[in-house]
């Protein structure tokens, strides 16, 4: 099949998807989406001033000063008395069935100079590799911003190749202040109003006996913790298995790899989910646009990591990925023009994967 014909087919599928989605949000809400891959990107910006401070023209944050009062029942999660700062902007993009999602802050709270707080996930390149790029730039001394990227790839294991697999995760970043182990702690200068940055990663592997994960986007996604896999677990699939997870909160050193090992069983479908979250406040900047990468492979007899997807059949992008956005007014389908352009780009990425 030649390239032109494949592109025309992609355009027809795109138009069909646009027509279906334009029938209304209610129809989309009525059913879950069967998907094998997914991508999510979100940015959040908060104004850490009370209404009184804003009215007085103050630039001093008076809602983000954290007073530690104890721990949650788990004995680990801290509790702070300060009210949560006001959410000024939220921007989320979902690509359910595809590999690429991106978004960027538009409020001055999330922009510092020429840099905007942004999130980007691309899993359309090498099989078994998820690339997440982010930047968190708090543009004022009273802003608290965050970026979140989430990618999901799925594989069928045919029983050949090693049954024990390793995922290598490397997080590279730069920052204008030393990253905190807890964003709510006083900053580098010792004051609760100092600039501060914080980072978190999570990689999760789960498996099913079926190829499709049933996902309801209108139940929301909590990227930091349960991500896409949370609904698979909550749906009580008889065959759901959480195969492994590695979390790193409050990362302070760039470039240090972490590893997740898990064992595969022939005939099962495996889902690899990678998450990156960045936070910055009060003029803090954390640049990870170069990047957080999760790569699937194995650990050799010599103890070194080797990228490989031997014995794995990689799920391609959906012909009709479900594209949804949230700009603070609720989850909805993009405008038809934007939908067609986005789906065309996704179709080209799918073509690139199939040609590879």
Instruction: Say if 279 falls within a structural domain.
Output: yes
Same domain, residue pair 200 and 244: yes
Instruction: Say if 347 falls within a structural domain.
Output: no
Question: What DSSP character marks residue 223?
Answer: T
Confidence at residue 336, expressed as pLDDT on a 0 to 100 scale:
64
Same domain, residue pair 143 and 218: yes
Confidence at residue 354, expressed as pLDDT on a 0 to 100 scale:
43
Which parts of the chain register pLDDT below 50? 1-30, 339-341, 343-356
Confidence at residue 83, expressed as pLDDT on a 0 to 100 scale:
59
Instruction: Say if 36 falls within a structural domain.
Output: no
Confidence at residue 22, expressed as pLDDT on a 0 to 100 scale:
36
Same domain, residue pair 113 and 204: yes
Same domain, residue pair 118 and 226: yes
Confidence (pTM): 0.83
Same domain, residue pair 80 and 169: no
Q: Which helix (H) or strand (E) holds 137?
A: strand 129-137
Kindly report the CA angle at 278 between 277 and 284, in degrees rounded to 5?
A: 175
Write the burial class of residue 356 (CB in 10 Å: 0-12 exposed, 13-18 middle, 19+ buried).
Answer: exposed
121, 123, 126, 132 alpha-carbon torsion, rounded to 10°: 30
Residues 277-305 as b or e (16 or more Cβ within 10 Å = b) = bbbbbbbbbbbbeebbbbbbbbbeeeeee
Same domain, residue pair 221 and 291: yes
Same domain, residue pair 72 and 136: no
Same domain, residue pair 311 and 224: yes
Instruction: Say if 7 falls within a structural domain.
Output: no
Domain that holds residue 199: 99-316
Same domain, residue pair 208 and 303: yes
Instruction: Say if 255 falls within a structural domain.
Output: yes
Instruction: Say if 75 falls within a structural domain.
Output: yes
Confidence at residue 217, expressed as pLDDT on a 0 to 100 scale:
87
Confidence at residue 84, expressed as pLDDT on a 0 to 100 scale:
62
Of 31, 57, 87, the last residue of a domain is 87
Residue 155: other Cβ atoms inside 10 A: 23
Please count the structural domains in the chain.
2
| Predicted confidence (pLDDT) per residue in 267-298, tens digit | 999 999 999 999 999 999 999 998 999 999 99
Residues 187-214 as b or e (16 or more Cβ within 10 Å = b) = beeeebbbbbbbbbbbbbbbbbeeeebe
Instruction: Say if 175 falls within a structural domain.
Output: yes
| Predicted confidence (pLDDT) per residue in 219-252, tens digit | 878 898 889 998 888 876 778 999 999 999 999 9
């Amino acid at each position: 099949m030649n390239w032109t014909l494949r592109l025309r087919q992609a355009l027809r599928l795109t138009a069909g998807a646009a027509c279906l989605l334009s029938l209304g949000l209610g129809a989309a809400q009525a059913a879950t989406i069967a998907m094998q891959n997914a991508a999510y990107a979100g940015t959040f910006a908060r104004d850490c001033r009370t209404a009184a401070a804003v009215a007085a023209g103050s630039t001093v944050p008076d809602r983000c000063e954290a007073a530690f009062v104890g721990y949650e029942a788990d004995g680990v999660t801290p509790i702070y008395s300060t009210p949560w700062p006001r959410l000024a902007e939220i921007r989320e993009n979902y690509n359910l069935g595809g590999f690429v999602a991106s978004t960027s802050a538009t409020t001055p709270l999330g922009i510092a100079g020429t840099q905007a707080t942004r999130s980007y996930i691309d899993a359309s390149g090498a099989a078994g590799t998820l690339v997440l790029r982010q930047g968190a730039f708090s543009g004022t001394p009273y802003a608290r911003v965050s970026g979140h990227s989430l990618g999901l790839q799925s594989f069928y294991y045919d029983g050949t190749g090693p049954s024990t697999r390793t995922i290598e995760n490397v997080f590279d970043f730069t920052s204008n202040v030393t990253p905190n182990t807890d964003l709510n702690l006083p900053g580098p200068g010792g004051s609760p109003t100092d600039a501060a940055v914080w980072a978190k990663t999570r990689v999760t592997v789960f498996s099913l006996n079926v190829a499709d994960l049933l996902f309801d986007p209108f139940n929301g996604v909590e990227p930091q913790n349960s991500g896409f896999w949370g609904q698979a677990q909550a749906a009580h699939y008889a065959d759901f298995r959480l195969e492994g997870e590695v979390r790193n909160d409050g990362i302070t050193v760039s470039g240090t790899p972490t590893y997740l090992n898990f064992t595969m069983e022939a005939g099962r479908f495996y889902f690899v989910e990678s998450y990156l979250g960045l936070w910055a406040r009060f003029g803090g900047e954390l640049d990870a646009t170069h990047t957080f990468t999760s790569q699937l492979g194995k650990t050799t007899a010599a103890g070194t990591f080797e990228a490989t997807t031997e014995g794995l059949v990689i799920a391609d992008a959906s012909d009709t990925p479900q594209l949804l956005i949230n700009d603070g007014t609720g989850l909805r389908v993009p405008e038809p023009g934007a939908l067609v352009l986005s789906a065309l780009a996704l179709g080209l990425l799918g073509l690139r994967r199939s040609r590879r």
